[in-house]
Amino acid sequence: MKRIGVFTSGGDAPGMNAAIRAVVRTGTAHGLEVIGIRRGYAGMIEGDFVPLGPRDVANTLQRGGTILLTARSAEFKTPEGRAKAAENLRRAGLDGLVCIGGDGSYRGALKLLEEHHIPVVGAPGTIDNDLYGTDFTIGFDTAVNTALDAIDRIRDTAASHERVFFIEVMGRHAGFIALEVGIAGGAEVIVLPEDPLPASVCAEVISQSSAKGKRSSIVVVAEGGYEGGAEALARDVKACSGIEARVTVLGHIQRGGSPTAIDRVLASRLGAGCVDALLSGASGVAVGEVDGEIRLTPFREAVERRKDINRKKYELAKVLAL
């Protein structure tokens, strides 16, 4: 193996640049030439490739987003689009690929391997923390801390005005962010996709909190935890109980910003681990960290096996909300 490619795909996540940096510098240390593929699978189809050396990734460790950019590609979802991408990769002389992204990115990488026999490994870059085979994904810790900072500020206002606030965080199919910030932010109610909560139950908990002397409440809602999100839940709670609430949707603010130390170290380990995996002959695997150790998980298992929330944490959140 002499030349490898690296690309980011799907939603951006803080720490992606740290992973790119680790791939480039680890690859260089092993005598490999590293080529950056800009704009993910779209750039792969268009042949948007750029050589990357150690100096090209200097001062990127602390930057959010991705210096290689990312894009959705409808064309790559077609056999013809994937064939065009594979041909460009062969023309560039790439012996292997490192994919940094989420489940959709992994599925695309698996297609390249199965249809065109291109060696590829992946690093889990997504704030949702929903990929099996790793305790944490790149960007999750930063997203949690960003959301927590916002919740802390909103709690000040909630307490000052004696109000109920519904705060929506990202997590369409997984409630990892909501659970983590709900505990850290002292939420009275946490609404998760893994454990849907009827509006009537949410209203009852808020009413019980008020009866215990709480003059304000915070309800953290994963975007996929209630049909229609926090806005719909607040509306339904009012309809069944008369409880007035304010709603804040944090949105894409959770994806941006400088990565935390935890995300920088994790991304560095996983990026380096991807290069090591390719050099060892591995392919079609996701590189993760489990119990502090690097672990390889087949792509198909990483995207098809459900990663559940920590149920003990969820029960703890209910106790601490008393």
Same structural domain, 268 and 135: yes
- Which residues belong to the annotated binding site for ATP? 11, 72-73, 102-105
- Which residues belong to the annotated binding site? 11, 21-25, 72-73, 102-105, 126-128, 155, 163, 170-172, 186-188, 212, 214-216, 223, 246, 252-255
Looking at residue 106, its pLDDT comes to 96
Q: Which of 12, 48, 95, 128 is catalytic?
A: 128
Same structural domain, 69 and 105: yes
Q: If you search the block for the tokens 């997203």, which residue do you land on?
A: 143
In a domain, 318, yes or no: no
Same structural domain, 21 and 130: yes
In a domain, 315, yes or no: no
- Which residues belong to the annotated binding site for ADP? 21-25, 155, 186-188, 212, 214-216
Q: Distances in Å between the alpha carbon of 87 and those of 28, 130, 169?
A: 25, 32, 40
Same structural domain, 46 and 134: yes
Q: Could you tell me the CATH number of the domain that includes residue 199?
A: 3.40.50.460
In a domain, 310, yes or no: no
Looking at residue 123, its pLDDT comes to 98
> DSSP class of residue 251?
G
Same structural domain, 116 and 162: no
Quick check: 37 pLDDT over 90?
Answer: yes
Percent with pLDDT over 90 in the chain: 98
Looking at residue 122, its pLDDT comes to 98
Which residues is 195 bridged to in the sheet? Answer: 192
Looking at residue 120, its pLDDT comes to 98
Q: What is the reported pTM? A: 0.95
Same structural domain, 191 and 268: no
Same structural domain, 283 and 201: no
In a domain, 215, yes or no: yes
Contact 108, 8 (CB under 8 A): no
Same structural domain, 187 and 267: no
Quick check: 225 pLDDT over 90?
Answer: yes
- Nearest CA-CA partner of 68 in 138, 157, 8: 8
Same structural domain, 34 and 130: yes
- Which residues belong to the annotated binding site for substrate? 126-128, 163, 170-172, 223, 246, 252-255
Domain around 52: 3-139+259-304
In angstroms, how far is CA 160 from the centroid of its own chain?
33
- Which residues belong to the annotated binding site for Mg(2+)? 103
Structure confidence by residue, pLDDT tens digits, 109-147: 999 999 999 999 999 999 999 999 999 999 999 999 999
Structure confidence by residue, pLDDT tens digits, 241-299: 999 999 999 999 999 999 999 999 999 999 999 999 999 999 999 999 999 999 999 99
- pLDDT-derived band of residue 321, with 50, 70 and 90 as boundaries? confident
Contact 130, 103 (CB under 8 A): yes
Q: Examine the fold and report which residue of 219, 238, 255 is the final residue of a domain before the chain moves on.
A: 255
Same structural domain, 119 and 11: yes
Q: How many Cα atoms within 13 Å fall on the side-chain side of residue 238? A: 13
In a domain, 128, yes or no: yes
Q: Which two tokens stand for residue 103?
A: 């489940």
In a domain, 321, yes or no: no
Q: If you search the block for the tokens 């795909």, which residue do you land on?
A: 9
- Is 128 a known active-site residue? yes
In a domain, 179, yes or no: yes
Q: If you search the block for the tokens 């189809």, which residue do you land on?
A: 45
Mean pLDDT on 207-235: 95
Quick check: 16 pLDDT over 90?
Answer: yes
Q: Examine the fold and report which residue of 229, 255, 281 is the final residue of a domain before the chain moves on.
A: 255
Q: How many Cα atoms within 13 Å fall on the side-chain side of residue 202? A: 34
- The better pLDDT of the pair 172, 52 is held by 52
Looking at residue 52, its pLDDT comes to 98
Quick check: 322 pLDDT over 90?
Answer: no
Q: Examine the fold and report which residue of 196, 223, 255 is the final residue of a domain before the chain moves on.
A: 255
Total of domains in the chain = 2
Same structural domain, 69 and 11: yes
3-state secondary structure of 165: strand
Q: Which two tokens stand for residue 61?
A: 């460790």
Q: Could you tell me the CATH number of the domain that includes residue 293?
A: 3.40.50.450
Same structural domain, 7 and 135: yes
Nearest-angstrom CA–CA distance, 121 and 4: 11
In a domain, 309, yes or no: no
